[in-house]
Amino acid sequence: MESYRFLITGKVQHVYYRKFVSQALMRQQVQGYVRNLADGRVEVVARLWEEDVDAVLATVNQGSPASDVEEIITEVLEDDDIIYDGFEIRY
């Protein structure tokens, strides 16, 4: 299991994107968090098995009905030693 970071660009702030993603990933029993970034992007960090990455990508790409995802950058966090307990929205 590894930690993945997804940086989402587009119309993803002030459109209930974080709430949509957090609820969907909680249902998928993913551990991690979602938060807005100062530059207008949204960051999702999730502890995943490699075979679960595509399902999370599909969720963050779909987003809330009012959102419009333009780009998703995915990276593996090599030094993430945080232990997550569920999935949360961070502020």
Whether 19 contacts 90, CB under 8 Å = no
Q: Which of 5, 18, 41, 61 is catalytic?
A: 18
20-27 contact pairs (CB < 8 A, 24+): 20/63, 20/64, 20/67, 21/59, 21/60, 21/63, 22/87, 22/88, 22/89, 24/59, 24/62, 25/56, 25/59, 25/87, 26/86, 26/87
Q: Which of 36, 41, 61, 90 is catalytic?
A: 36
Assess whether 61 carries a catalytic annotation: no
Assess whether 47 carries a catalytic annotation: no
Instruction: Cite the active site residues.
Output: 18, 36
